[in-house]
Structure 1
Amino acid sequence: MFNRIKNLFDGQKLERQKQRLTKPEYAYLFDNPLSKVPNEWVSLDLEMTGLNAKQDYILSVGAVRVRKESDGFVIDTDSALSLVCRPPVMPTDDTIVIHGLRPIDVDNGLSYDEMLTQLLPMLKNRPIIGFCVDMDMAFLNGIAKPFLGVELANKLVDVSRLYQQNQHRHDPSQVGQLPHLNQLLEEYQIPRLPAHNALNDAIMTAMLFTHLMQS
């Protein structure tokens, strides 16, 4: 009963957001999923100039689809996105190079609107996987709302919390701090790709997600 009521309210909320869209061609972002048990997700990572969504900027975006099939999970790297952005205010060179980018890469990067026109069709209404995904979404919604008229409504899956839930399910006495990404990669023997790269982080997060979903 509770789930039916929640699904009804979720559907009504999506319809209200769809009605407030300033770009009707993106209405599919707010379609109510036909199944409440997803079989496709998007692993997303952003590289930013800092951690404050109100004053810092997105430098790059990495996204890769994850699909559940009858014999397991597939990480679809063939259709992955790796996008460099040009912020409205040019960051310092030191801020840029830590992310493996050159100032010329950022200067020639996509505007935020151009980036969204490539990213949003991949996201659709799929759940978004991330590590500390709330922070990434705060940055993404900061540019998505002016572009669309509303914030995105995708469900979020934070792998650190998913790990914590798994640990508690296996041993209810375990309650601890949320682990660091590198700690989880080591625990599940997931190879580390070069750091400070949005697509690499999205792929590693996707690999971690598939392990957690099967544990």
Structure 2
Amino acid sequence: MILRALKRLFHQISLGDQSYRFMFAPGPIDEVVAFDCETTGLDCRRDDIITIAAIRIKGARILTSERFEAVVRPEARMRADAIKVHRLREADVEAGKRIEKIIPEFLRFIGGRPLVGYYVEFDVRMIDKYMLGLIGIELPNPLIEVSKLYYERKYGDAPAGAIIDLSFSAILSDLDLPALDQHDAFNDALMTAMIYLKLRDFKERGVRIPRSRVTRGTEAPLG
């Protein structure tokens, strides 16, 4: 957290293209953005983004009419294992824009709003690698990790040895939320937005999520 704050300060000072100064201004009050990226793989250095989706949340409303969706034509080859996950073939992304065209549009959509995600740091690292080349900065936005919010509501007071499951499906099930087709950037962003709002409500009302009494070993494995 401290490192990210220092990076933000450095990038704010060193920003060359002043047209992106808006990224460092606070977003509208009570607004955040849930977002998700689908990629050609899980290696931030070698793999590329193929789809990005983002949805604005204002107060307790998910503004699906105010959303960002883009298909990217990647530089990296589409591997068979990744195609099985997100079900997008090279032919499906061939008509997409280059990421250099999409990043500026994405930044203007999110502005300075906090970004909500599920393992959001991976998606942010993928965005950052393009931003550094294009603009010379990384995303300065505050980050909200829904798996962390879920952990606090369910496992924050768990004893040593408690079994911990932070999978997307477990979170949706515990919160009684609909499971849409996963590994679709828009669906994942929408489900993340629903998770965020429900967990935020739980926290505000002091509601905890019941957990099993089953334990295993002495350490809590991360799901």
Structure 2 alignment gaps of length 5 or more:
203-223
Structure 2 residue 12 is matched with structure 1 residue 21: no
- Quote the residue 1:78 is aligned against: 65
Q: Offset of 1:130 from its aligned partner?
A: 0.4
Asked if 2 retains the 8 angstrom alpha-carbon contact of 1:93 and 1:103, the reply is no
Aligned equivalents of 1:60, 1:111: Cα separation in 2: 11
Q: List structure 1 segments (4+ residues) > 3 angstroms apart after TM superposition.
A: 12-16, 92-98, 171-178
| Letter matched to residue 78 of structure 1 | S
1:133 to 117, 120, 135: 120
Where do residues 170-209 of structure 1 align in structure 2 (5 Å cutoff)?
A: 171=157, 173=159, 177=164, 179-209=166-196
Asked if 1 retains the 8 angstrom alpha-carbon contact of 2:46 and 2:76, the reply is no
Structure 2 residue 93 is matched with structure 1 residue 106: yes
Q: Offset of 1:61 from its aligned partner?
A: 0.5
| Letter matched to residue 103 of structure 2 | L
Aligned equivalents of 1:187, 1:20: Cα separation in 2: 44
Structure 1 alignment gaps of length 5 or more:
1-5
TM-score (norm 1): 0.83
SS at match of 2:122: helix
* Count of aligned residue pairs for this structure pair: 199
Identical positions, percent: 29
Against the structure 1 CA distance between its residues 141 and 13, is the aligned structure 2 distance closer, same or farther, given a 3 Å change threshold? closer
SS at match of 2:63: strand
Asked if 1 retains the 8 angstrom alpha-carbon contact of 2:40 and 2:79, the reply is no
2:55 to 48, 55, 64: 64
**Which sits farther off after the overlay, 95-104 or 111-120?**
95-104
| Letter matched to residue 81 of structure 1 | F
SS at match of 1:121: helix
Against the structure 1 CA distance between its residues 134 and 177, is the aligned structure 2 distance closer, same or farther, given a 3 Å change threshold? farther
